[in-house]
A and B are shown apart, each in its own frame.
Chain A
């Protein structure tokens, strides 16, 4: 089964990407809006995510229930998420008439009225979501580390959810202003993947999205796209009655469109993806001191991080961090075998192909790639991967990973100590 993909730009600037998988009984749609943490400069913290919740509230002629019902009637499900650079609205359903899902997505994106009483009700939901995040030390860790890595002067230093004070104070007017600024057709990529007729899908996309006026989208400040190289160091954050320690170390990494991006993805995988990765071998198989070590290299439009998250038994953290630093240094020295390099490329290729089994992953991957870089980043992922060389990995690692990481440790409060730095969302 081979997918064929084609892209179109509607007259108002909205991009449509169609990835047809013949015989596939499911279809997924993803509308990715260039509205996320990166675009919140000058707006209340957490407003992208709050808008994501509020667009489901309708315009008075339709309600959240109406939208969900229309999707349920197709046997589908409707979801949304907010991330660093985008907000995505997604439908997964059995193959069939694409009219209802496209109609629902268009109304979600372009017709919300943000009625005052709904803003107040949803504010309570989001405040509960924030409280839940603060109640989870492993979630809190990511916000604390981002605040340290990016600082107060970069939007990536914020929590995606915002804070209780920012969400408690945001007004319906601010929500509308942000929506107006970001939800313009030229700032949206719509991807459809699975079993469907592409000509019919394009016609339906034109019908439901094409009449929207183009709008103007303010550019992201160049300074917010420039690489960040913060000074390294470790901060500790005592957390209530936690029993485990939760650690997160981050190094600067290239943005999605940077020439080093593919080599750094392979470097990250050599470090922490797979059974034979440096960290799994050393920390789990040899030492048994970190049951859960995860390497995270989420692509971003702006300055990215290569992160290593780990659980630890208090007292082990310095040893674990020393091991992580030592394994990172191996990358820059090209201290890995040809076999390890080839296995890592194989593993990454397989992982990409595994994702293609799911229409949702195809649609989301395509729309997200187009939003933060270009669709080929997803479509040609295997070719791009096979273009990486061991020398390229070492060169990229030396360029990006040579400094000290920014480390945050959230640990049992009974060990004592106060956070030496970090932002206001301490536990």
Chain B
């Protein structure tokens, strides 16, 4: 049984909910602010709006320019993090607890960005560079193609950032409307903290800092884009890129975070493996087919994505596809048993504990569970679920995932084009 850390919850007059968790830790306070929109809501033709907007929080607020924010941040030793997930945005910070109140003040100020023109110009150049850098990374290119194919027709088919043309179209007015119209809604937000102090003290500090936060009346927010209808997509796409290896990725729609198969899917990903041990690790050890070879599951509020990625020489693409196909078929047809099943559950429990190790992780997960699943203790329940699940449930989950829609993306050298197309009947794209 895992000892539960004390936690408390409060709601401010502006509707903002607060969660605080106490723990035995170094003198650190971590805070995550959850805002109720994510990149899945980016308007059509403006992919990247959410991601680039949260990036602007560092670049100046009402009453404090970018340089003042930067000075305040370092003076309090604050480690800032901003992120646009598919379903929500987060503004997070971590600091030594003795600097907590200054750090909270900084965080609240950053929630009122000013989008100054000079900073918009500077930031736009950086967005374009970020887009180019992602296109230089074969694994990212492969993932983007695969995700778009496997999740076509859902709001999760697009990534965090879009094209250079879309980035150029994102201006100050769009950001203002997005931020103040859709994101900054205290009654739909939640602030979560994990600290080395008693729950009551942390809640009081959060209350004092966030009580003045108000929603603003602005024009209507930009409409979210309707997901493109599922295309009659080919099951596989090959794209030429000037690299030596072929990166290939299978992608599948997967259960959402509140789906009854959520825990089974996590165990399936562990069973296939990420790193040494379990199925893909053993495949690597026995054949030397790849250095990078892993399975990964990403759960959203309205769906999920399961992928298996591998990088290998062009000559071994056919073999790689055969071997991955065999592993998937075996997992779907035969429940794990005996020592393997004991090991996968033990490893998964260990992974859960490690994912809750730092105050930042605890603030994030506790806040996420409370805000989106209404259950701040979900973490502990998930550990119990891992311990009690039956192997048949994981095999059934494998059948659900691997037996449904699937998409294969291959990215590799032009010289490997023929081998790739032959191995998987891919279309060039």
Contact = CB atoms under 8 A, between A and B. Distances in A.
A200 B319 CA distance: 49
Contact of B357 (A56, A74, A346, A358): A358
Contacts of B154: none
A283 to B, nearest CB: 9
A423 to B, nearest CB: 18
Contact of A68 (B128, B244, B281, B359): B281
A79 interface: yes
Q: How large is the interface on B (under 10, 10 to 19, 20 to 34, 35 or more residues)?
A: 35 or more
A276 B2 CA distance: 41
B25 A1 contact: yes
Contacts of B70: 274-276, 280-281, 285
B359 A346 contact: no
B139 to A, nearest CB: 9
Given A128-B311, A275-B73, A289 B125 contact: yes
B196 interface: yes
Interface in A114-130: 120-126, 128-129
Q: Looking at B70, B123, B137, which has the most chain A CB atoms within 10 Å of its CB?
A: B70
A77 B313 CA distance: 28
Contact of A135 (B130, B244, B343, B358): B244
Contacts of A354: 26, 28, 79, 94, 358
B200 interface: no
B290 interface: yes
Contacts of B69: 275
Interface in A66-88: 68-69, 71-79
A138 B129 CA distance: 14
Q: Looking at B241, B292, B312, B343, which has the most chain A CB atoms within 10 Å of its CB?
A: B343
B242 interface: yes
Contacts of B124: 288
A58 B197 CA distance: 47
Given A25-B2, A69-B343, A286-B122, A243 B135 contact: yes
A64 B276 contact: yes
Nearest to A359: B357
A138 B282 CA distance: 29
A93 B277 contact: no
A25 B25 CA distance: 11
A375 to B, nearest CB: 19
B351 interface: yes
B74 A128 contact: no
Interface in A90-139: 92-94, 120-126, 128-129, 131-132, 134-138
A327 interface: no
A288 B343 contact: no
A65 B75 CA distance: 49
B132 A128 contact: no
B75 A339 contact: yes
Given A78-B276, A243-B136, A343-B71, A285 B288 contact: no
A144 B339 CA distance: 46
A104 to B, nearest CB: 12
Given A125-B291, A243-B132, A275 B25 contact: no
Interface in B120-150: 121-130, 132-133, 135-138
A124 B287 CA distance: 8
Given A121-B285, A135-B138, A243-B135, A346 B77 contact: yes
A305 to B, nearest CB: 23
Nearest to B276: A68
A342 to B, nearest CB: 8
A170 interface: no
A291 B126 contact: yes
Given A68-B277, A346-B75, A244 B346 contact: no
A242 interface: yes
Given A128-B313, A285-B70, A291 B291 contact: no
A73 B342 contact: yes
A77 B351 contact: yes
B289 interface: yes
Given A64-B276, A339-B75, A350-B79, A94 B358 contact: no
B290 A241 contact: no
Contacts of B342: 73
Contacts of A346: 74-77, 96, 99
A325 interface: no
B176 to A, nearest CB: 20
A349 interface: yes
A131 B347 contact: no
Contacts of A131: 244-245, 311, 313
A126 B128 CA distance: 34
Contacts of A286: 122
B351 A281 contact: no
A122 B138 CA distance: 23
A349 to B, nearest CB: 7
Nearest to B358: A357
A361 B24 CA distance: 17
Contact of B74 (A71, A72, A129, A274): A274
B409 to A, nearest CB: 16
Interface in B55-69: 58-59, 66-67, 69
Given A136-B137, A349-B77, A356 B26 contact: yes
B349 interface: yes
A136 B245 CA distance: 11
Nearest to B73: A275
A281 B277 contact: no
Contact of A313 (B3, B125, B245, B346): B125
Contacts of B292: 128, 132
A311 interface: yes
B122 A288 contact: yes
A292 B196 contact: no
Contacts of B27: 353
Contacts of A124: 287-289
B346 A132 contact: no
Given A75-B346, A241-B242, A243-B135, A343 B276 contact: no
B75 A343 contact: yes
A351 B94 CA distance: 9
B264 interface: no
A287 B125 CA distance: 9
Q: Looking at A78, A129, A277, A353, which has the most chain B CB atoms within 10 Å of its CB?
A: A353
B73 A350 contact: no
B75 A292 contact: no
Contact of B358 (A77, A311, A340, A358): A358
Interface string A287-318: 11111100000000000000000011100000
B243 interface: yes
Contacts of B76: 346
Contacts of A240: 242-243
Contacts of B347: 72, 75-77
A344 B77 CA distance: 8
24 contacts: A1-B26, A23-B24, A24-B24, A25-B3, A65-B282, A69-B277, A72-B343, A74-B346, A75-B353, A77-B275, A126-B291, A128-B288, A129-B291, A131-B313, A132-B292, A243-B132, A243-B136, A276-B71, A286-B122, A292-B129, A292-B133, A313-B132, A346-B96, A351-B79
Given A1-B196, A126-B291, A285-B119, 6 more contacts: A77-B350, A280-B70, A288-B126, A292-B129, A343-B74, A357-B26
Give the 7 A-B residue pairs with the shortest CB-CB distance, closest first.
Answer: A288-B122, A124-B288, A75-B350, A291-B126, A350-B77, A240-B242, A68-B277
